[in-house]
Structure 1
Amino acid sequence: MNDRRLERSVELDASPEQVWEAIATGPGISTWFVPHSVEPREGGAVSADFGSGAGATGRVTAWEPGKRFAYGSAGPPEQGADYAFEFLVEGRDGGGTVLRFVQSGFTDEGWEQEYDGFDRGWDLFFGNLRTYLAHFAGQPVRNALVMTFTPGRPADVWPMLHAALRLDRHPAVGDEVTLAPDGPPAVTGVVDVASPEFLGVRSAHGLHRIGVEGEQGCGVSAYHYFYGEPVDAGALTTAWQEWLTRLFPAPESAPAGS
């Protein structure tokens, strides 16, 4: 571990109370990041569900209601990096809020790649937060989050995803599109994220993000946030996971002794 820090300052057109609810409670964090549970006290348990069986746990290390929330990994050092996350909420003169964020706990070996991956990820998630507060504030969320891994490269993976979603190219921000996978319900909306790693669509009822992260060997993810809608999140999760698994099947194990 080293003393390197990833820092963000995010300006939000929302009250400090709204921002605190979004960054320091389980239901709030789930609206823009991944499903969380948070015990609202110093020393309280924190858990996160990243989908497809991946998760993380930790403990609240600072709890100043309305102002400061921090938590860190609960695992022992020998299990890897113990990341620490801190959120500071500050009201702005004239309205709105500034959210300051710090992540620390990066490993010494390969920290540049590790840092860059988190940097891109937080860009996406804080963008989700801004969009949620602008278009869906106060609405509860139902999440459908899935992921898989493929040994391919992004240059090979994205064309496969485009074809499977019935897109003729990587759309640009502002394009109106319909994602039409074979199995899960179609998604129609406006592209609000278009980067080498992510494609995002804002529909009338939620946010939909497709991700390809990695260089030689990629994590492929589909994160869906449905706001105020009584959708069957379990059925949607299953449908999207089956779709991803069909598209990128796990490589067969080599026979014993080969």
Structure 2
Amino acid sequence: MGRKFELRKEVELAATPQQVWDAIATGPGMEAWFMAQPAPDAGACEVWQPPAHLSITTPAGPDGSFHAFEYLIEAKDGGSTVLRFVHSGFLGDDWGAEYEGMTSRGWDMYLHTLAEYFRHFAGRPAVYLTAEGPEASAKPEAWPVLLRGLGLERDPALGERVRLTPAGLPPIEGVVDWVEEPGGDFLAVRAEDGLYRFHGRAALGMAIAVGHHVYTPVDRAAADEAWARWLHGLYPAQG
């Protein structure tokens, strides 16, 4: 039997309401902290009130599932802005019990990334890089392999300075800016040129992925290919 769900989040951002609106309602803005995707269609939104209120609902799937996303933007004294976000909807029978928990943690990370963008890279155009590992990386034991491939022997702590050394790619020097609860398969590093994110998705039966936000000019296709080649090299095909 399907079920309703609702996730509520709130984050204070070092930005104006217009800057926050641009980050959630434009393609370049979303690429700076979330993913590369088309901007919301104002005509298809339930609410389109820049720069204060945005509400979007996806079409229902064959099983009745749908998702609704609401953003409320409020200016605060001192020049900051509070973003209140609600992700709600209906999940069909095929959606696993772990969906809400993992999605909630995912939004925590993405909203933190938005805050980091405004704090350290505001106004700089971003290139979103993404790649996935092979099927072999969808197993729980694959995460330590990724860490060793980055030159790490363990999950680093929040605030720890690290130097990542993926073979065939430029080293990344920076600070760990986000950690999950112990045992979480996620690594987030803020470097001088971008926000680097490594996602372990074994709990969903999905391969490890990277989703980096780079704030310097880069050839997206070549960089995506290089990261994919590196990931696949960590997990050789079993003959």
Query: TM-score by structure 2 length?
Result: 0.89
Match of residue 70 from structure 2: 86
- Report the counterpart of residue 173 of structure 1 in structure 2: 158
Please tell me the residue identity of whatever aligns with 1:230.
Answer: P
Q: Shift of residue 111 of structure 1?
A: 5.4
Separation in 1, partners of 2:230, 2:40: 35
Give the 5 Å matches for 1:185-204: 185-195=170-180, 196-204=184-192
Where structure 1 has 5 or more consecutive residues not aligned to the other structure, the ranges are 44-59, 253-258
Contact 1:150–1:220, Cα closer than 8 Å, also in 2: no
CA distances 1:26-61 after superposition (whole Å, capped 9, x unpaired):
111111000022155222xxxxxxxxxxxxxxxx33
Deviation (angstroms), 1:247: 2.1
**Structure 2 residue identity aligned to 1:3:** K
Change (3 A) 1:232 1:71: same
C-alpha separation between the residues in 1 aligned to 2:235 and 2:47? 41
Q: Which amino acid aligns with 2:84?
A: R
Q: Secondary structure at the match of 1:238?
A: helix
Q: Is 1:131 the equivalent of 2:116?
A: yes
Match of 1:41, as an amino acid? A
**Residues 111 and 62 (structure 1), Cα distance of their counterparts in 2 relative to 1, 3 Å cut:** farther
Q: Secondary structure at the match of 1:184?
A: coil
The answer as to whether partners of 2:63 and 2:92 remain within 8 angstroms in 1 is no
Measured at CA, do residues 151 and 187 of structure 1 come closer, stay the same or move farther in structure 2, by a change above 3 Å? closer
Mapping of 1:65-76 within 5 angstroms? 65-74=50-59, 76=60
Identity rate of aligned residues, in percent? 38
**Whole-angstrom distance in 2 between the partners of 1:14 and 1:216:** 34
| Separation in 2, partners of 1:68, 1:212 | 33
Per the alignment, residue 136 of structure 2 pairs with: 150
User: In the alignment, what sits opposite 2:195?
Assistant: 207
Matches within 5 A, 1:228-247: 229-247=216-234
| Greater RCO, 1 or 2 (C-alpha within 8 Å, sep 6+) | 2
Q: Distance in 2 between matches of 1:249 and 1:80?
A: 40
- C-alpha RMSD of matched pairs (Å): 2.1
Contact 2:8/2:85 (8 A) holds in 1: yes
CA gap 1:106/1:79 in 2 versus in 1, 3 angstroms: closer
Q: 1:242 to 1:27 in 2, by over 3 A?
A: same
Secondary structure of the 2:97 match is: helix
Change (3 A) 1:165 1:62: same
1:113 aligns with 2:98: yes
Q: What are the superposed Cα offsets for residues 135-163 of structure 1, whole Å, 9 maximum, x if unpaired?
A: 00011001111123436543x12210111
Give me the whole-angstrom Cα distance separating, in 1, the residues matched to 2:69 and 2:96. Answer: 17
3-state secondary structure, aligned to 1:143: strand
1:212, distance to aligned residue in structure 2 (A)? 0.6
Q: How many residues align?
A: 233
The structure whose residues are more often strand, as a share, is 1
Q: For structure 2, which runs of at least 5 residues remain unmatched after alignment?
A: none
Runs of 4+ off more than 4 Å: 249-252
Residues 187-220 of structure 1: per-residue CA shift (max 9 Å, x gap) = 1111112331311111101000111123384431
Does structure 2 retain, via aligned residues, the 8 Å contact 1:10–1:99? yes
